[in-house]
Every structure is written in C-alpha cells, then in structure tokens.
C-alpha cells in the first residue's frame, strides 16, 4: 500500500498518516459554592400527658426505746425513716423519738404547653468570577507552540 510502482519502474513512497488522540486532565477553577445554614423557628402546641410526683412527709411521734440504730424501711409503699436521740438514764439506751412516713403520690395530668422547634435549612450560593467559563481544551498544536516559544498556555 505504501510502495507503488509507476510505469517506468520507479518507486514512489506514499507516507501513511494517522492521528492519535492524547487526553490530559487539569484542574480549572470556574467558580465556588458556598453552603450556609439558617435555623428557622416555629411555635407548636404540644398536648401530652405530664407525670408529676409529689412527696408527702408526715411526722409520727413514737417514743420507743431500741437496742441499736433502726434501718430505713418500706411499709405499705411508704418509706419510714427513724429519727433517734440519746437519752441519759442509768443505762444509756436509744429511743425512737419519731418516724417520718414518706409516701409518693403520682398523678398524670394532661397539659398544653407552647414550645419552639428549630429546623436548619441549607442556603447554597454559587460564586463565579466575571467572564469565567470552562476553558477550551488544549490541543496538540497549542502544546507544540507552547514548547517552541518556551511559555505555558495552561
């Protein structure tokens, strides 16, 4: 294909030309993106049961002598805490002066209350310098001229 003979026996050489594509990548900043968040507030009414616990303390006089400290105890759902004092007698003994009967009472009450709920929303802004657009791809001819003149087109 490359060598062909002419009528007089002379050979002519025809060059075969082919192009090759070379793809390069480079980073080019064409703009920026800024993301900020703004918090929005809204008031809503929440109507949910609220558990409230009250403590009732009742003082009960006892006046009973004991041999040693009396531990706290629960009787019929009440916490009983004994209050002690030392009393001088011929022999020193402990006497329970009073007991504290502590009872918990729990009640559920439905109550409406206004609360503020917050929600963030993103705000996206694109910043592009004036006249900024995607650059034209660099060609082999651009690179050849760049090397010849010692500059850089990129």
Res 71: pLDDT: 94
Question: In what helix (H) or strand (E) does residue 144 lie, and over which residues does it extend?
Answer: helix 140-149
Res 5: pLDDT: 56
Alpha carbon distance 57, 100 (integer Å): 7
Res 17: pLDDT: 83
Res 154: pLDDT: 44
Res 75: pLDDT: 92
How far is residue 106 from each of residues 49, 78, 81, 101, 147, measured CA to CA in Å?
Answer: 13, 13, 21, 16, 88
Find out whether 37 and 124 touch, Cβ atoms under 8 Å.
Answer: no
Per-residue pLDDT of the chain (154 residues; tens, 9 = 90+): 555 555 667 788 888 888 888 888 888 888 888 888 888 999 999 888 888 888 999 999 998 889 899 999 999 989 999 999 988 877 778 889 898 888 888 888 888 888 888 888 888 888 777 666 656 666 667 766 766 666 554 4
């Amino acid at each position: 294909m490359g060598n062909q003979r002419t009528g007089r026996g002379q050979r002519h050489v025809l060059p075969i030309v082919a192009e090759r594509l070379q793809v390069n990548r480079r980073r080019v900043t064409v703009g920026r993106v800024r993301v900020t968040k703004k918090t929005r507030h809204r008031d809503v009414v929440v109507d949910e049961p609220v558990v409230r616990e009250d403590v009732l303390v009742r003082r009960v006089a006892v006046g009973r002598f004991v041999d040693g400290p009396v531990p706290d105890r629960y009787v019929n759902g009440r916490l009983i805490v004994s209050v002690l004092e030392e009393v001088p007698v011929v022999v020193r003994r402990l006497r329970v002066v009073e007991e504290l009967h502590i009872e918990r009472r729990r009640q559920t009450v439905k109550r409406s209350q206004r609360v503020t709920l917050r929600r963030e929303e993103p705000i996206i802004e694109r910043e592009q310098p004036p006249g900024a657009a995607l650059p034209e791809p660099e060609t082999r001819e651009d690179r050849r001229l760049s090397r010849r003149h010692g500059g850089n087109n990129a």
